[in-house]
Amino acid sequence: MNIAASSLGEFQQAFATALFDDGAQDASPIASLLRQPAFAIYRNTVRKACIDALEANYPAVARLVGSEWFRAAAAAHVAVTPPHDARLMHYGAGFAHFLAGFEPAASLTYLPDVARLDRFWTEAHIAADAEVLDGSALASLPPEQLGTRVLIPHPAARWAWFEEAPIHTIWRNNREADGDTGDLAWHAEGSLLTRPQDSVCWCELDRAELAFLDACAAGHPLADAAAAALSVQTDVDLSRLIAKLLRAGAFAGLR
């Protein structure tokens, strides 16, 4: 065993590998450390910190499946995907994708999408600041100009459509302290998360609202966004739709 010859980098490579590999490594440059029971302290601390971060970042998923199940699933994710960023609030970007392929979660088909909404919450919470566009900016425009202007989504706004299950309702019920646990109406629905002031807020979206937001995000002018909403729902009340999205804080500006 020639420990003194190993460089700092070789030491770190061996140490980092051993943090997630419990197997004996007599040939390792840190073999004398692996033989000490205290090496387990580093293994436990690193793994626990990663699992704790995932549990903090995915509270609705954790509440749905229970802490014990969640932590077992998180441990499996941590072992294959340790953090790539020192800011642990960013950790778990791939967790929804991991859950979709996690065999023990196969019967919980809604779980990956609930994880997506937990992730949206984090993204909305830390997104850049911007003034929320209020209705008066639109009201002051001459009607003939309105259709050519583009509504710019707020940096904190996140939205998605869920065709297979009422994900927004499931997520909300497990994110809010007094969430409803009654029977669910099993239907498709959309979800919008915004940060109009400091707190992240959420509301359910219908197909027309989602089509409108998607068109705005693609840089289409208001007339085209309105047409997109009408194409999925012919009787849509456009002024109500726009007022709801403005009230939610979905837009930061108009160009």
For other proteins, give the closer residue by CB, 83 or 221: 83
CA–CA dist 118, 236 (Å, integer):
30
To other proteins, the closest distance from the beta carbon of 140 in angstroms equals 27
C-beta closer to other proteins: residue 126 or 184? 126
CA–CA separation, 138 and 8 (whole Å):
61
CA dist., res. 136 & res. 247, Å (int): 11
Smallest distance, other proteins to C-beta of residue 39, A = 7
Q: How far is the CB of 84 from other proteins (least distance, A)?
A: 6
Output 36 or 109, the one with its CB closest to other proteins.
36
Minimal distance, residue 231 CB to other proteins, in Å: 34
Of 22 and 129, the one with the shorter C-beta distance to other proteins is 129
Asked if 170 and 116 touch (Cβ cutoff 8 Å), the reply is no
Minimum distance from residue 74 beta carbon to other proteins (Å): 13
- The label of the residue with tokens 């850049």 reads 128
Q: Which is nearer to other proteins, 19 or 232 (CB)?
A: 19
Calpha distance 55→49 (Å, rounded): 10
Q: How far is the CB of 150 from other proteins (least distance, A)?
A: 22
Number of other CB atoms surrounding residue 174 within 10 Å: 19
* Three-state DSSP state, 56: helix
Between 41 and 218, name the residue whose CB sits nearer to other proteins.
41
Question: CB neighbours of 172 closer than 8 A, spacing ≥ 6?
Answer: 179, 202
| Best CA proximity match to 216, nearest among 251, 177, 174 | 251
Q: By the criterion CB under 8 A, which residues form the site for other proteins?
A: 3-4, 6-9, 11-13, 15-16, 19, 32-33, 36-42, 45-46, 49-50, 53, 82-89, 125-130, 155-156, 195, 198-199
Q: Are 87 and 74 in contact (CB under 8 A)?
A: no
